[in-house]
A and B are shown apart, each in its own frame.
Chain A
Amino acid sequence: MTGTVLAQGADIQTPHIEYGQIAPILVVLGVAVVGVLVEAFVGRRQRYAVQVPLAFAGLVAAFGWTLWLGFHEKPWHVAAEGALGVDGPTLFIQGTILILAVLALLLIAERRSPAFTAQASALPGSEAEQETAAAGHVQTEVFPLLLFAVGGMVMFPAAADLLTMFVALEVMSLPLYLLCGLARRRRLLSQEAAVKYFLLGAFSSAFFLYGTALLYGYAGSVRLSAIYQALGRDVGSETLLLGGVALLSVGLLFKLGAVPFHMWKPDVYQGAPTPITALMASCVVVAAAGGLLRVYYVALANLKWDWRPAMWAVAIITMVAGAVIAITQTDIKRMLAYSSIAHAGFILTGIVATSPDGLSGTLFYLAAYGFASIGAFAVITMVRDTGGEAGHLSRWAGLGRRSPVTASVFAFFLLAFAGIPLTSGFTGKFAVFKAAVESGATPLVIVGVVASAVAAFFYVRVIVVMFFSEPEADGPTVVVAPATAAAVALGLAATVVLGVLPQPVLDMAGHAASQMFVR
């Protein structure tokens, strides 16, 4: 009896996991788990002092490991029994997410002007809220939550089958929903944002899952490579295929914030604590674009002629709607939310190119946009008046006279968003537009250029408000907190370097994209 069980047991092979190659994901998630234990076992006073270095160490170690893999580990292949792809583009995306997460962590860890509520469970406006705030409590759960989210993000573009991808999507999204509701000021707005994000996010997850089910019905597998092969054989029901692709795309485009799945973005970006907005505008966009790239370039490469027209349409309305609606915004965070929608359109322009050039252009764009976004939102956290951040555009009047350096830095980020030469934004736009032209998508590029011109209008309007209008008597003050300032400085440095001397990073992106994704 025992013998037969043992004999059968010998037949079951233990899964072969390449721990070394998926270590960045494991490190981030592992540190997140340790973070939860810290919450349980370390005293309230010491938690902040333990959590912050721990989170930094985790992210930096993961980043370092990703770099090492990028330079040493070859050839690329699908690891962990077909669950995770380890290849150039994935490592580039993971590295980008991790370094951007380090910058976001700088903002989140800022103590001089805290962005997070002292205790999330205290009702807004209640005595408990005042007590916890007066006691100087800090909601240190933010750090493990952040690491879980980042863990999901680095897993998302690596996922080589749709179920792994779904798990990653949820690991990434759930902590984000929570983090969105933790703002210290205007808590109701923040909680509203969290609920909206959660409901719409859950809805889009359902779409993703439904699409996965239909694709399973078509290909008999959720593996991206199996779907690719099924497409090559051209067997199975076309209804299942097209329905599945459409639903899956809804889920993916929702995370990227492409029109018409962008509704959540302005509300959530505005309501969420600004450091979390910075995280979403950079890391989440990178991760979402990474997942999109993998699904379309790996599983659906043979279906190119069917999805490209649809993607053209989405890219066009995303660029145009994002740029046009942004003009009417008066809240600076909402404006940047619509700007982020427009940029999602530019990113799609690169994805549509379906070439190594398009891939490398998109990768570069993601890095460039991520750094500028974090920098811009970091500046927003610095401009404060009595009620917290000065969100309304009119409050920024005359900032250029009050604190010229801050205003100039913000203006520089805006010029980068607008794509003015010698900023990273221009190099990125040039890279994706060049790839799009090469792949014959010139009309798309013309729309993109016109959208850029429209977008330039509202970026420039902020500069006008900051520099050319008279300052108000009771205008906001600029609070220069050390960690935030460091994040701004790093974002600025990256934006300048990627604009003036982009060659090394372009080389890295080109090298990463040269063999495309593994199947």
Chain B
Amino acid sequence: MRQVQTAVLERDTTFVSDFATEPYEVAWAGEARWFVHTLAASGDDTEVRLVTQISPDGLTWCDLDGHEHVVTGPGLVTWPVGQFGQWLRLRGTVAGQSPSTTMRIYLTVKS
């Protein structure tokens, strides 16, 4: 049976500026998937751009690929991640007039 684990990296957290999630170790896993559940958003033209980041040591980070996942309002957004090495996190860029967004961020990893 394959191992699988879901971590809630942000739990109904309200972001008003750029952020990065806490480092999460996934060395044992062969595949991963982000689920970003936006619970609420306010402000004008609020837009969050999410990018997967990887790290060899949990300290220094770079983008995994060139993909930006754009969130503009409530709902669930998901994408798969592969070939990631040891650590995963998300960085988010928050744009708009007085932007505010409340998110629950799940990382599901599988051996």
Chains A and B belong together in one complex: no
